[in-house]
A and B are shown apart, each in its own frame.
Chain A
Amino acid sequence: MAAAEALEEKQADATQAPRPRSPRRYTDLCGRHRLQARVQLLSREIGFLEEELQSVEGLQPVSVCCKEVDKYVGTTPDPLIPTYKKRHKSCCFSRWLRAMVCFNATCFTGGCSSWQNRPCCTRRPNGSCSSSGGYPSRSCCSVSCSRLRCVIPRLSCPGYSCGCVCSCSNCTKVRLCPTCLCCISHCVCE
């Protein structure tokens, strides 16, 4: 009986509507925390800026960086740039002088190069050489030649039609393969 009464009391309590609490006093909690976080961030930023100010004291001027950029760009070959190698004036003079005194065939084996007496040679894609102008093809092709050969299809040489790129002093012009337009076909000495 007592247990049943206790249970009845408990159930009555459970169904009783909760007494409303008096409303909490409004405090700007959200705004305060946000403001505090911002102040902390700004304090951190101040620290970083002070560090940076100290580090700027010992920095090299911009001209040093510019020199590094200039040097790097000048020493790296670039497939997208029309290459113009300017010969220095002193080099041109010495070449001219050699051309004036040099009359034998050894001039055309790479010993000297003259703008007026250059042999006209062509290195074919299969590696053999041909020449014009009465010069022996063997000596024509004995000049040093850096060979770039496309061995796999590349965007710059999709048709395997690339041959030799001559960077030797006797080469003044390199023709492009008309088939793929973007490919260097052979060395033409002019």
Chain B
Amino acid sequence: MEISSPSTEMFDSTARLTKAEEYLRLAKVDPSDLHAETQVVSFAAPLLSDDYRLIELDKHLLERLEQGETIILRGTENDIPVLCTDKQTFQVKEAETSNALLLSPDCHATGNVVKEGVHFLGACQVVSVRSHYLELKEVVRLKTSRLRELLEERPFFGWENETDSQANCYSIDDLLEQVQGSKAQLLQVIETLPVCEIDGKLRQLAFEYRSRMLADLVDTCESGQTTGLSEDHLNRQAVREFFAANKAPPSFTDWFLRALCTATDVPDVLRLDERQVCRHYAELLLRGTKRFNWDDFWTAWCQCVPVNMTPKESFLEGLGLIEQGARIKTIELFPVEDLPEDPQERFDLLFRRRPKWRHADMEPYLRDLATSPKEIGVLLTKFCRSTTVGGQKLYNSRDSSYSA
């Protein structure tokens, strides 16, 4: 489509309008059928098209911006950027159209074009021509691998092992410089990790530190010597005082009560959570040995958990992988947290580890990738093939190089 160069006629507004109306008549449009205002549309001078970028927003995002909120783009140079409000995260992708989008600050549309009166010539400008715009896709579940890496740089092993250095210690704001997600979603993920805030920094609690503290508390409970501290009856304040006396940071108690205890009917009284505490002891045993003979493991596990607790095989979901061989049953450490977050990579790793899986065995290793059992089903259909052997449905890789 060609654009005419400016001619002397243009500077004479009446002549220009006359010419426009002549063209309209030739195009079979009767000027008397038109609203009063006809606008000459011109490019701005200078035309700085590339200064402008278009981004698709949903109504709510626009409203928030109109109310003065700031939204933030996060990511390093190598990342696909994400756009974050305080609670939501959106992946940003560039979309293209084959059309030309002409951006005008002052073009009158049907809402504000002058309708009545003598026909006249108005003017408006186009400040940019775009054929690309940014599209947003909401990210409900954040990727956590970078966050975990950062938190693992400097775990907390207890005050006696701390130095003055703050290197590799990150506050929530430090983390937001490097991790791609909204603050609220990030804090939600952190709540599920063995992390607590110490001196303004978010610190991963080292496994051995957690073990030591748990063991001390369990011993105290079993000795019955301290009021307010028994396995079924943990008084919140008594727990706080116990850990304070053991020189734990104040926030350690919050983590402990949240991660290893459950509420009772009585306010401020909790009990040790059997599943979480038994899992902790299972992890302790499994970390010590590459592969455990099942019977040895079971015996050791029963012995080391608190006296009133009973281990169950189901407590090991997503933590230990049980291999039932022809003659021997074994277990080894295989935590879901160590698996890749990308679904294809996850399934590849699972099938390398074991070519065929039963649903019940595989499901705990997929729960963190989905928000419902239905979504897990979708993943299985997409990434696996299934066969039925002896009435039992087994999943295997779509990639034939993983066959048993």
Partners in one complex: no
Q: Could you list which residues of chain B lie within 8 angstroms of chain A, going by C-beta atoms?
A: none
